[in-house]
């Protein structure tokens, strides 16, 4: 199981969609570019083709990011190979990325219920449990992942986030008790991945950070693209910035470290 760094000496940079603002999102080109630039933590997305292949692609439809059209789930892998993104690539197989980039740690958003079992099968086939963390907005989907495959690191869904944020309002001992009865203690949770705010309500707070660290979880914030917001979260002490602009985040982290000296 992969364990995120908790309270690292410097916040980690996690390249959202493979660094989607600095490269073509979720492409082999972007994975290679991120690795060459020293970014080894990537967030990406898993979809399932009509014939059961796991590809790394954000949208449920092909229209926005490729020359294709229609639902990914209604296309076979052979058909997916015929569409192209803006650099002339088709969406990659997860298996190919795990094989070609053994140094990368992938935070993979399971985009549908249907992709869960094939996704776990590919991770197992390539022995990638120690370099993969699974994510989803769906708490139910993540709990199913935990039931199906012990030993794969995971984060928490939006429903779980609400419970944990609520628990963080109370003293630590009571917060832990709430989370115990809600089923969040133990298991494969290694990170809480949250927005800084949700509908104007602050989510990433010192209290939440304290609860996460007491449980051995990293607090990672998405999707942070503004330098001022990055500096604010670095001052808070978050463990990672999930960003479309990894190079910008790296520069902000380095500058913040210099200012602390």
* Interval 193-220 mean pLDDT: 97
Calpha distance 216→131 (Å, rounded): 18
- Burial (Cβ within 10 Å: 0-12, 13-18, ≥19) of residue 162: middle
Written as one string, the DSSP assignment of 44-89 is: EEEEE-TTS-EEE-SSSBSTTTSS--SBGGGS-HHHHTT---TTSP
Calpha distance 175→133 (Å, rounded): 25
Q: Tokens 């009865």 appear where?
A: 181
Task: Give bridge partners of residue 105 from the DSSP assignment.
Answer: 41
Q: What angle do CA 142, 153, 247 make, to 5 degrees?
A: 105
* Interval 175-182 mean pLDDT: 97
Q: 145 with 115: CB under 8 angstroms?
A: no
Residues 6 or more apart in contact with residue 256 via CB below 8 angstroms:
231, 234, 235
* pTM recorded for the entire structure: 0.97
Q: 120 with 149: CB under 8 angstroms?
A: yes
Longest dimension (CA), the chain: 56
- % of residues, the chain, pLDDT over 70: 100
pLDDT range class, residue 261, cuts 50, 70, 90: low
Do strands 12-15 and 240-243 pair parallel, antiparallel, or not at all (unpaired)? parallel
Q: What is the mean pLDDT of the chain?
A: 97
- Lowest-pLDDT range of 35-49, 185-199, 208-222: 185-199
Calpha distance 134→131 (Å, rounded): 10
Written as one string, the DSSP assignment of 116-137 is: HHHHHHHHHHTT-GGGEEEE-S
């Amino acid at each position: 199981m992969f364990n995120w760094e908790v309270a690292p000496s410097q916040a980690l940079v996690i390249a959202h969609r493979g660094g989607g603002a600095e490269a073509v999102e979720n492409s082999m080109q972007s994975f290679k570019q991120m690795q060459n630039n020293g970014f080894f933590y990537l967030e990406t997305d898993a979809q399932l083709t009509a014939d059961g292949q796991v590809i790394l692609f954000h949208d449920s439809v092909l229209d926005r990011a490729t020359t294709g059209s229609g639902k990914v789930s209604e296309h076979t892998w052979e058909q997916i190979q015929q569409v192209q993104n803006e650099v002339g690539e088709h969406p990659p197989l997860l298996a190919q990325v795990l094989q070609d980039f053994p140094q990368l740690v992938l935070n993979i958003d399971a985009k549908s219920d249907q992709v869960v079992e094939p996704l776990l099968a590919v991770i197992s086939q390539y022995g990638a449990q120690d370099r993969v963390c699974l994510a989803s907005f769906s708490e139910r989907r993540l709990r199913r992942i935990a039931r199906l495959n012990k030993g794969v690191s995971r984060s928490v869904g939006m429903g779980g986030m609400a419970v944990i944020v609520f628990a963080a309002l109370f003293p630590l001992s009571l917060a832990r008790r709430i989370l115990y009865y809600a089923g969040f203690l133990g298991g494969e949770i290694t990170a809480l991945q949250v927005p800084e705010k949700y509908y104007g309500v602050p989510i990433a707070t010192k209290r939440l950070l304290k609860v996460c660290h007491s449980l051995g979880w990293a607090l990672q914030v998405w999707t942070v693209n503004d330098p001022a917001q990055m500096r604010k979260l670095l001052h808070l002490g978050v463990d990672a910035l999930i960003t479309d602009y990894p190079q910008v985040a790296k520069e902000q982290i380095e500058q913040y470290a210099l200012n602390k000296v």
